[in-house]
Amino acid sequence: FLFVFFLTLPLVFFLFLYRCFLNVLFSLYDKMNTWSRIASVGVAGLAGVYVYSQVMNVIRTVTSIYDQIVNPMPSFDAAQAEGTAAA
């Protein structure tokens, strides 16, 4: 349980930073000129892509660890290796 908690802690932090960035963006949006608005929307989009990649990375890591625990690789001995090579 603690392992999953420590994996999701950075994710929660990234989502918090992204939300704070969006709050600042929308509160100052009326005071910006056109190019600043375009740049801020672009940076917000890149931040969203980054958060999405971090979320997918955490999901893949957790599913990989779960898969390795549930379906461990079988141990091969010499007799089993000979039997599979003949087939």
Angstrom distance (rounded) from CA 83 to CA 87: 7
Residue 2: both structure tokens together: 């603690």
pLDDT of residue 51: 81
Q: What residues have CB less than 8 Å from 48, skipping those under 6 apart?
A: 18
Rounded mean pLDDT, 2-13: 67
Asked if the model's pLDDT at residue 81 lies above 60, the reply is no
Measure Cα distances from 59 to 27, 34, 64, 75 in Å. 33, 38, 8, 28
Give the model confidence (pLDDT) of 20-45 as tens digits: 777 777 777 778 788 888 888 888 88
Q: Tell me the pLDDT tens digit for each residue of 45-64.
A: 888 888 888 888 888 888 88
Report which of residues 18 and 85 the model is more confident about: 18
pLDDT at site 19: 78
Q: Which residue has the higher pLDDT, 59 or 78?
A: 59
